[in-house]
Structure 1
Amino acid sequence: MSNCDSCPSKGNCSSEGSSTCSKLVTKYGKVKHIIGVISGKGGVGKSTVTGILAVQLKNAGYKVGVLDGDITGPSMPRFFGINNERAEILQMGDTEEVKFNPVETSLGIKVISLNLLTEQEEQPVIWRGPVITGVLTQMYTDTDWGDLDYLLIDMPPGTGDVALTIMQSIPVESMVVVSTPQDMVSMIVKKVVIMAEKLNVKILGVVENMAYIKCNKCGDRIRVFSKKSAEEQAKYLNLPLLSEMPINLDLVENMEKGKAEEYVKSNGEYNELIENFKKLS
């Protein structure tokens, strides 16, 4: 069996079947679908959406892993409440090769992040681009993922080196874009959309996060950042709307307690995201 047979990009790669295929392959395990979660800028809740989608996919019966691709600002361990744990690094025989054993969450989601490989999560990464991309690709190829239905990559914001490396070198099947309903944010996110189109990476749709907050007394939706609807912003991006998500202080509180998984699993508020995701993927 060739590497192409187990590659999520099979059928969509211009180098399929070629010995010069540039797509990286995981050394340990098999991944059926790789989905990137990206945004044009930070602070829009991209990592939160990644975590929510991972929990919902796991809750639907899929085997799920998460690669924290935001090397300089990793936050997935905090979402899953595993920030005090550390991934195991195994030396492979007498060679210089290593294997990373990811940390499993309470629901069984496999997570690898630079914050799980450093002694302290507050330790900063002061590296230039080539080093960062090298570490990211090693975390992807050298992690023992086992057999996964979905690997979600929480990508860094913007159109820089790391995002480019992921889109060009890792066999990403499709992308989920995260934005907030503001003209300025949508303009920046549009750059990521155009970048993905130029690299022939499919985009499933956009999640308009922090679109509103519910009034505790009357239940009305109060739009905080813009009077424009999520549908209007999705139309500007020329993307299907996967979900319009609110500012949710209960979710924030549960994340701070390390209990976001349990909250998302039992909360029907996020069902729209998984339903549209499965419909479009």
Structure 2
Amino acid sequence: MPGRETASALELTLWTALDRVQDPDIRRPLTELGMVREVSVSTTAAGTTHAAVSIQLTIAGCPAARQIEADVHSAIDSVAGIEASSVDVGVMTPAERQAFVERVRGSRPRQFGPDSLTRVIAVTSGKGGVGKSSLTSALAMAFAQRGLSVGVIDADIFGFSIPSVLGLSRDGKVEQPTRVGEMIIPPSVDGVQAISIGMFLGDADPRNTAVSWRGPMLHRTIEQFLRDVWFGDLDVLLLDLPPGTGDVAISVGQLLPQAEVLVITTPQEAAADVAVRSALVARQTGQKVIGVIENMAGLVQPDGSVLDIFGSGGGRTVAERLSDDEHGTVPLLGSVPLSPDFRAAGDTGTPQELIASADPAGAEVQLIADRIIGIGRGLAGRPLGISLS
């Protein structure tokens, strides 16, 4: 079939235009992924210069089909000298689909292994109800707003809520990931990719479905999320862990010992005590605690005063108790005030409103995101893929 090697000058220009069309899920050019089967330019009987492009989708019913076809038409229209065009859309054969998966995965058996340049941050808490999922989602949106490529794994298997907070679940229907062979491509919202067990419940309404698994099944689920779900080249991967110090926290520590840990607590003393324990478990697996975030730190009144509904000082207490000579100073990265708008954004699945600068909670999350980025991540002892010759 015609390729670049035998292309005319106008066909080469068209190939170059198609190089700019990306698969919206993989975020790599269609031409690089082998999705452009044929490109030809001919002259019709009426003397019109006609371009014909044949593309092949990974699966029948691909959710990105319309966008891909529209983007291909736009690319063709951008080439001067082409007066008419047609786009033929087909589906890959099993062999072509396997080649596609191999192109995407490359030679990396693990996305987030020790040699990965992705910054992995596990968000933990000692107890439930401290707003951990909302803060995970808000930080993901703030990182994406700063131009970072961000992924979220909802590792809270029993209490999954990331799809609803990010707006990927509406009226009992959860947006589904795309499956290409054994590779799973997660859905995304505003530049944030997310995966959750709530996306694998079939037609069941996640609001009325409970997952009741024991340790080995939980471990395999987290392992599959890390192995089979393809996020691509991420700058940051956030994991929303279940509260406490159970099986999932231990599994994440074993599978991702290089992960950094954010500890979420509320101001009250009882929450601070159990938050410290969750951080200590993370340290036992070699993970580094990079900071503490205090949520529900107070309710700002119309006169500017703050009503400390849940007390005060819990975040500072956790940070101080986790700081020592061996591990250094663990900072309190911020105190997020109680906010009706922030709460409503999580309930209604409008994630951009979680980081609204006009809202006290959203403004504080923005500051915390900058502080986390400012902490950076040491590369000591990690291979950089550089060889000296």
TM-score normalised to the size of structure 1? 0.83
3-state SS, counterpart of residue 311 of structure 2 = coil
Number of the residue aligned with 1:224: 309
Instruction: Go from structure 1 to structure 2 and tell me whether the alpha carbon gap of 1:163 and 1:99 turns closer, same or farther (over 3 Å shift).
Output: same
Say if 1:215 and 1:221, in contact at 8 Å, map to a contact too.
yes
Per-residue deviation, residues 200-224 of structure 1 (Å, max 9, x unmatched): 21111000111111012x1111111
Structure 1 position 254, deviation (Å)? 2.1
Instruction: Go from structure 1 to structure 2 and tell me whether the alpha carbon gap of 1:185 and 1:229 turns closer, same or farther (over 3 Å shift).
Output: closer
Amino acid of the residue matched to residue 144 of structure 1? W
3-state SS, counterpart of residue 234 of structure 2 = strand
User: Is structure 2 residue 203 aligned with structure 1 residue 112?
Assistant: no
Per-residue deviation, residues 216-244 of structure 1 (Å, max 9, x unmatched): 2x111111112436434432343210110
List gaps (5 residues or longer) in structure 2. Answer: 1-105, 324-329, 377-389
Instruction: Go from structure 1 to structure 2 and tell me whether the alpha carbon gap of 1:7 and 1:171 turns closer, same or farther (over 3 Å shift).
Output: farther
Say if 1:89 and 1:100, in contact at 8 Å, map to a contact too.
yes
Query: How far apart are the structure 2 equivalents of 1:113 and 1:143?
Result: 10
Instruction: Go from structure 1 to structure 2 and tell me whether the alpha carbon gap of 1:185 and 1:248 turns closer, same or farther (over 3 Å shift).
Output: same
- Decide which of 339, 349, 362 is 1:248's aligned counterpart: 339
Deviation beyond 6 Å, 4+ runs, structure 1: none
Moved more, 260-269 or 133-142: 260-269
- Decide which of 371, 375, 378 is 1:276's aligned counterpart: 371
Say if 1:85 and 1:103, in contact at 8 Å, map to a contact too.
no
Number of the residue aligned with 2:137: 51
Moved more, 122-131 or 44-53: 122-131
Instruction: Go from structure 1 to structure 2 and tell me whether the alpha carbon gap of 1:54 and 1:39 turns closer, same or farther (over 3 Å shift).
Output: same
Say if 2:342 and 2:353, in contact at 8 Å, map to a contact too.
no
Query: How far apart are the structure 2 equivalents of 1:256 and 1:229?
Result: 25
Query: How far apart are the structure 2 equivalents of 1:169 and 1:127?
Result: 19
Amino acid of the residue matched to residue 184 of structure 2? F
Number of the residue aligned with 2:81: none
Number of the residue aligned with 2:176: 87
3-state SS, counterpart of residue 245 of structure 2 = coil
Identity of aligned residues (%): 31
List gaps (5 residues or longer) in structure 1. Answer: 11-29, 93-97
Structure-to-structure mapping, 1:59-74, within 5 angstroms? 59-74=145-160
Per-residue deviation, residues 91-128 of structure 1 (Å, max 9, x unmatched): 62xxxxx22221111x1211100111212213211221
Task: Answer 1 or 2: higher relative contact order, Cα 8 Å, separation at least 6.
Answer: 1
Number of the residue aligned with 1:126: 212
Structure 1 position 47, deviation (Å)? 0.7
Rg larger for: 2
What is the Cα-based RMSD across aligned positions, in Å? 2.3
User: Is structure 2 residue 326 aligned with structure 1 residue 235?
Assistant: no
Say if 2:174 and 2:198, in contact at 8 Å, map to a contact too.
no
Aligned residues: 255
Instruction: Go from structure 1 to structure 2 and tell me whether the alpha carbon gap of 1:87 and 1:45 turns closer, same or farther (over 3 Å shift).
Output: same
Say if 2:355 and 2:366, in contact at 8 Å, map to a contact too.
no
